Amino acid sequence: MTMLSFRVEDEDATAIQGWADELGVDRSALLREAVRLHLNRLASEREARTWVEAPLDDGESALAAIADWGPAEEWEDWA
């Protein structure tokens, strides 16, 4: 794990400490989770742009119709 250090506004530091106290976690854990969630959001936005800019071709989407078939078994048999 790598250590990062950065400055925040006093009001943000107070809010961070308040949330950490309320959630029963360290400030570091709270900030680590917040950064991870934000990075995931950024990555998903990038992925969405990628799909718009380069949609699947016919070969890549050929199996999509199979996914719409539903379950291969009769679920009533499980009752």
- For residue 1, tell me if it sits in a domain: no
d(CA 66, CA 60): 13
Range of the domain at 59: 10-66
Confidence check: pLDDT of 71 > 70 = no
Average pLDDT in the 54-65 region? Answer: 84
- For residue 3, tell me if it sits in a domain: no
For residue 15 the two structure tokens come to 């809010």
Domain count, the chain: 1
- For residue 71, tell me if it sits in a domain: no
pLDDT tens, residue by residue, 1-59: 899 999 999 999 999 999 999 999 999 999 999 999 999 999 999 999 998 899 888 88
The predicted model scores a pTM of 0.65
- For residue 5, tell me if it sits in a domain: no
- What single-letter amino acid sits at 47? E
- For residue 17, tell me if it sits in a domain: yes
pLDDT of residue 59: 86
DSSP string for 52-64: HHS---TTTTTTH
- For residue 72, tell me if it sits in a domain: no
pLDDT of residue 24: 97
d(CA 20, CA 43): 26
State the DSSP code for 16: H
- For residue 20, tell me if it sits in a domain: yes
